[in-house]
A and B are shown apart, each in its own frame.
Chain A
Amino acid sequence: MGSLLTLQFLFPLLLAILLLVTGYISGRYLERKHYEHIIAEETRPGQVMVFPLRLPPPSLSPPETALVMGSVVISVDYFKRFIATLRMLVGGRLNSYESLLDRARREALLRMRAEAEAMGAKEVFNVKYETAVISGRSAQSQVGSVEVLAYGTALIGKD
């Protein structure tokens, strides 16, 4: 009787706690590393400039144009998803998802900039974001991962 009780109740409980702890530790570590990477890249001098303007200003020597894009799919960890589920009971700010989307947007923009830089561009105009929720195959997984695409038109100077 005792062993049956262990199997039925204790095992799922232990598994959940284990998942929460690993999610918490690895999620924190990965997020910190990612933010360090993002900030280092964003503050690097000589970056491609990004404008959400519809039209570039007219110039004497018209540049070449090319479509550039960057995208990333990021997932939250188990711990944050758990916290978000609790938060949804009372409502309010979902801190854990805010940082997920912030990281995804900034990373996507950085990748677009890198592509533009590789083409020798100095500016990217008409930058747009596109966000999509990528749901897993299993029904029990909720929001979890999100894809952000950043795209725009790179102007490549001819001189």
Chain B
Amino acid sequence: MLLSNLEIVPGRRVKDHLGLVQGSTVRAKHVGRDIAASFKNVFGGELRGYTELLNDSRQEAIKRMAEQAEAIGANAVLNIRFSTSSLTQGAAELFVYGSAVILED
């Protein structure tokens, strides 16, 4: 599965457009990390635990999108966009979407 946020793939033609595919995940931070983070809120600096957590969740969202694209027979997802929204306090939704296409070999 080729993933790209360009609208084209250099050197390859798009044979067929299959429409929008998307993946999303909602994650809550666990309490231990929240306590560590509240200390960091006093001192300032990077919240490594959150960075990792959001990265993992984003990979999960990408995986779901790729699975959806594969299910409809695509071999690439182009023009990928990310979006993050904080649902309630302590939880965030990570959303990723793009257009599924079939590329010529």
Taking beta carbons and an 8 Å cutoff, which residues of A are in contact with B? 19, 22-23, 26-27, 30-31, 34, 54-56, 58-59, 61-63, 65-67, 69, 71-78, 80-81, 107, 125-126, 128, 130, 132-139, 141, 144-145, 147, 149, 151-153, 155
A76 to B40, CA, bound (A): 8
Q: Is the CB of A126 within 8 A of B6?
A: yes
Q: Is the CB of A78 within 8 A of B47?
A: no
In the assembled complex, B12 has its CB within 8 A of some CB on chain A: yes
A100 to B86, CA, bound (A): 19
12 further A-B pairs in the complex, CB-CB below 8 A; given A75-B46, A136-B89: A59-B10, A62-B11, A65-B2, A67-B4, A71-B51, A73-B47, A73-B48, A74-B46, A75-B40, A130-B84, A136-B37, A138-B89
Question: What is the interface residue range for chain B against chain A?
Answer: 35 or more
Q: Is the CB of A133 within 8 A of B86?
A: yes
Separation in Å of the A72 CB from the closest CB of chain B?
A: 6
CB-defined contacts of A155 to chain B, threshold 8 Å: 10
Chain B residue, CB-CB nearest to A104: B46
Q: Is the CB of A137 within 8 A of B44?
A: no
Q: Is the CB of B84 within 8 A of A147?
A: yes
